[in-house]
Structure 1
Amino acid sequence: MTRQIAHYGVLSHYPQPNRTEHVHIGIAVFLADGSVRVHFGHDLRKLQAIDPQVKLDAVRSWEAGLPRLLEGQTHAAAAAFVKSLGQWSLSDTLGRFAYTGEEEYLARVTAALHSLVSTPAKPSRERGEVSRLHIDLKTTFTAKGWLGKDITKHEIVERYPIGPMTTAEFALQNGRLHVIESLDLRTSTPSAKRQDARAKALVFDMAKQSAADSARYSILAGVGSPLMGDAKALMSRYSEHVFTWESAQDMSELMNILGAATGKPGLSLPH
């Protein structure tokens, strides 16, 4: 498939148009064929924090309505139209990303929304928002003697930066970059999990761009989740290996791979 280029601007809401206070709420994406797609952030509660009168359902409705009004317009014309709505603006400058197919497009959109729109998590809450699967993996890696802080010493490290605004959940370097991402489907809402899956796909894509020979591992939990089939299909496109947390065979295979990569295959888990 041919790679496409999309350009996007940030949509902002101004409670009082004559004042500077505002909040970013989403992005408008201009596609090569002249069509426009609008995407709002997953959580718009911060919008009500600065404008209690706003109706979130009404704002959400523009996700489908605004693209029809902007279709075929230049960026300047679109910005002027958005401004005419009274409380919104479209950024003067445009970002861009390349994509092939709908899945990669949505992964790029998720990354842009996370960077430009999402409210940063407070440090005090970050640990509480980590998935149970992440904690289980971290505990396992620690028990095996693999977890550390120095990736140059064949240690598995947490939150390793692999590109602009992109951080791997776990990474290992032994002459080859190994990237490990987990997706816990046992918790949260389906929409949040879909966004998580797209974000993981973006991490794998960035890992491949930064190191073409990188090894990429997906670990999924939640065999009973209705999202498991789609999640496996998506992860299979972006990672070399897809493992199921509940499968003893899968986990044994993963531990053997990582044991060889760290150079510490002989350490067994405590009983």
Structure 2
Amino acid sequence: MAKSCKFAVIKFASHAQRDERLNVGLLVDRDGVLEVFHSNKLDKLRAISAAIEPADIISDIVELPDLANKLGGRPFENSKVLENLSNLTSFSFVQQGSFDCSTNEIYLYCVSDLLRRYVEPEPAVLRPVKKRSSKLRQDIRKALLSEKIMARREEGLDSHRVIYKHELSQGVVADFVLQNGAMHVVESVDATSDSVSLHRCLYEIAMSALTFEHARINFENQHVRPRLIYSSNAEIEAAISPSLYAAQHQGAEVINWESAEQRAKFITNFVSLAEPVDTAETRPSLFHASALPTRKLN
């Protein structure tokens, strides 16, 4: 069964007068057990001070779970524990979030992804992660296109139409995003192809949770309405249902595209939220022959 893990980015802070900070690791609550993960490239701390020994910082990071337990444990459920943990160390804990995982392998995938996004030094050129093409994603796009609520290439979120493959942050792309009061973020998982493994489907569901978390961070105080659309056969659906339930528990609306009722409800909902494309400019002018002068008729 998929379990929810909470995390916070560990930020090292220098002397208060200098106010220099660097992300150095992650603090993760996995089913009540605290774990820490640190960057493998802590030499960047020397940019703050040549007197800093990365090995000492690693030692301090590793001791955080024991210190948290002495302070009362479960810092993500008791903000006072996290506050005291920050006061007693040179670390602060920011960008808190959560993700779901059903296996240890998925858990490590998620942690690795979070380290890459928040902690490890950015590469010289970081391009959005290219998602595998899927029939489901194209079917959703065609359905929204037929309702004339997909944004044009040059349009942005302020058009109040659906943006396809919207980049939330570097390397994080949502399948569909619509801004209308709230931010409606849609991710899709296609489990109908024989070439796609169960492991891959579980991984994509876990990654969708991280995409939703990025949306909440990216859009700050704006209300985010996440939706996870999936398509699968009965056998695969039984295997991924715990992960789908976990996504639902985290606030995502889960939609089965194979269900005509759920599919119609989703499309109707989006049509009511989006501003339709005005086709008046591109529509040719048509006149009935009876309205034309005789000389205009052949």
* TM-score tier (shorter): 0.5 to 0.7
What is the deviation of 1:235?
A: 2.1
**Structure 1 unaligned runs (5+)?**
9-27, 39-72, 79-94, 266-271
| Structure-1 separation of matches of 2:5 and 2:204 | 26
Corresponding residue for 1:234? 246
CA contact (8 A) 1:218 1:239 kept: no
| Structure-2 separation of matches of 1:252 and 1:146 | 15
CA contact (8 A) 2:8 2:96 kept: yes
**Does residue 272 of structure 2 align to residue 260 of structure 1?**
yes
**Does residue 165 of structure 2 align to residue 153 of structure 1?**
no
Change (3 A) 1:173 1:74: same
**Structure 2 unaligned runs (5+)?**
12-24, 39-54, 61-92, 278-298
**Does residue 182 of structure 2 align to residue 170 of structure 1?**
no
| Structure-1 separation of matches of 2:111 and 2:35 | 16
| Structure-1 separation of matches of 2:239 and 2:197 | 11
Equivalent residue for 1:246, pick from 249, 258, 263: 258
**Does residue 226 of structure 2 align to residue 216 of structure 1?**
yes
What is the deviation of 1:263?
A: 3.7
CA contact (8 A) 2:166 2:177 kept: yes
| Structure-2 separation of matches of 1:222 and 1:254 | 17
| Structure-2 separation of matches of 1:7 and 1:261 | 39
Equivalent residue for 2:136, pick from 133, 137, 143: 133
> In the alignment, residue 200 of structure 1 is paired with which amino acid?
S
| Structure-2 separation of matches of 1:101 and 1:74 | 29
What is the deviation of 1:223?
A: 3.9
TM-score of the superposed pair, with normalisation by structure 2: 0.52
Residue aligned with 1:147, SS: coil
Query: Whose Rg is larger?
Result: 2
What is the deviation of 1:74?
A: 5.6
> In the alignment, residue 165 of structure 2 is paired with which amino acid?
R
- How many residue pairs are counted as aligned between the two chains? 201
What is the deviation of 1:238?
A: 3.4
What is the deviation of 1:144?
A: 1.7
Q: Deviations over 1:199-255 (max 9, x none)?
A: 100111222332441222111110421333123212203344211010000011101
Alignment of 1:1-271 (within 5 A): 4-5=7-8, 76=58, 98-100=96-98, 103=101, 106=107, 108-109=110-111, 111-112=113-114, 129-148=132-151, 149=153, 150=155, 151-187=157-193, 188-209=196-217, 210=219, 211-224=221-234, 225=236, 226-264=238-276
Residue aligned with 2:150, SS: coil
Query: Percent same amino acid at aligned positions?
Result: 15
What is the deviation of 1:167?
A: 2.1
| Structure-1 separation of matches of 2:185 and 2:175 | 8
CA contact (8 A) 1:204 1:239 kept: no
> In the alignment, residue 262 of structure 1 is paired with which amino acid?
A
Change (3 A) 1:35 1:262: closer
| Structure-1 separation of matches of 2:258 and 2:34 | 46
Residue aligned with 1:227, SS: helix
What is the deviation of 1:132?
A: 1.4
Q: Which stretch shifts more, 147-156 or 28-37?
A: 28-37
